[in-house]
Structure 1
Amino acid sequence: MEKNRLEAFSDGVMAVIITIMVLELKVPHGEDLPALAQLWPIAMSYVLSFIYIGIYWNNHHHLLQASHRVTGAILWWNLHLLFWLSLLPFSTGWMGENHFARWPTVLYGVNLLACACAWFILETGLVRHHGPGSLLAQAIGRDTKGKASPLLYLLGIAAAWAGYPRIGLAFFAGVALLWLVPDRRVERLIAARDKGSGDVR
């Protein structure tokens, strides 16, 4: 089946997730800067999760750019990813409202780990569907960042669980920074394919 509906639906869900998160930013009771400063944990949590949603949206777009068609199983794997992403507003809000306390930070890390595992399942399913010699398989390659991310999440969860939630949060932010570095593999391969086929889109 065609991938267009899957891509459009996923874009819509991620947009709604961001909207829900920003609605959780409450106006402070006060007109001075100290009143605004009290909201910094909530604002910081929102920024981090916004970056994560942006990373997933960007990579999801690239993943489907290198794909041709999807199966019913892939639709479910994609929904599995969206399920865990849809829980980010809850885990983000709980962590921010409680100023990065131990268990809210642990839950946030578990949420991020679940998103990463769901992404791996979706990515693996698409590669298997298109074949080991496909453009998608070439673009993903060894996927070093994708394999390192769950390990870093686990270290962050362990640090937060041991009573050092700020260190755990540093691990989570570090993974986001790792993925903020632009990955041009898919773009380069698609450009080379289109040039070779005479596609001028």
Structure 2
Amino acid sequence: MPSERMYLETERLEAFYDAVIAIIVTILVLELPQPKTASLAAIWALRTSYFAYILSFLVCANLWQYHHGIYNHVKRIDSHIIWLNILLLFVVSLIPYLTTFIATNPNSLVSQALYGLDYICVDIILFITAKGLLKSNPENKDYLKEALNIKDSLIIPFAIFLLGFIIAFLGYPIAISFCCLFTILLAIKYSLSH
């Protein structure tokens, strides 16, 4: 006789997710280089590092807010969802490394593509997780669908990133970072309006 799928509550997963995001954000700020002198010119010389930091901080904040919003409607999870979240955190944990990479090489196609690819992987993992959460929480399906907002939160950003990659390969690599910023600003606008 096949065993029934074992479901778990979400509190420990949420706490683990919160802790990892907090550590990533802390590492991001610790990786910011110090200006060589205490002058506006020295600060301005680090503008790409500050831009990369702000962008990555907003990515982390958006992921945390999205995760928090979803798990308010999730009653149970299974080991499949747990491992998808662990995979998500693995991909997100690369953000500090990739932030430094794009800060020091802002016009490099390789650095920008790796940064964008990380974000695309996050999007794909979130999409698969969304499908799994809907399946394991049928009693909350309507509320969960609204919280997941798959079209606006996952499909549209994915399309914007593909556009960024096309523009990057046409000779403007920094387009990937700007597409990332655009998707984050859209997400913030959406979350503030709901």
Asked if residue 15 in structure 1 is aligned to residue 22 in structure 2, the reply is yes
Structural RMSD (CA): 1.9
Among 157, 161, 184, the alignment partner of 1:176 is: 184
Q: 2:9 aligns with which of 2, 24, 33?
A: 2
Tell me which of 170, 173, 181 is aligned to 1:162: 170
% of aligned pairs identical? 31
> Any unmatched runs of 5+ in structure 2?
1-7
Q: d(CA) in 2 for partners of 1:98 and 1:142?
A: 33
Q: TM-score, normalised by structure 1?
A: 0.85
Equivalence map 1:47-196=2 (5 Å): 47-131=54-138, 134=141, 135-140=143-148, 143-183=151-191
Superposed CA offset, 1:121-158 (max 9, x none):
11111111112862313543563342111111111122
Kindly tell me the number of residue pairs found equivalent between the two proteins.
Answer: 186
Deviation above 6 Å: which 4+ runs of structure 1?
none
**CA deviation after TM superposition for structure 1 residue 26, in Å:** 1.5
Mean Cα displacement is larger for which, 141-150 or 60-69?
141-150
Q: Do the aligned partners of residues 105 and 13 (structure 1) sit closer, same or farther apart at CA in structure 2, a change above 3 Å counting?
A: same
CA contact (8 A) 1:14 1:57 kept: yes
Unaligned runs of 5+ in 1: 188-201
Q: State the distance in 2 between where 1:3 and 1:184 align.
A: 25
TM-score (norm 2): 0.88
Distance in 1 of aligned mates of 2:149 and 2:51: 33
Partner of 1:37: 44
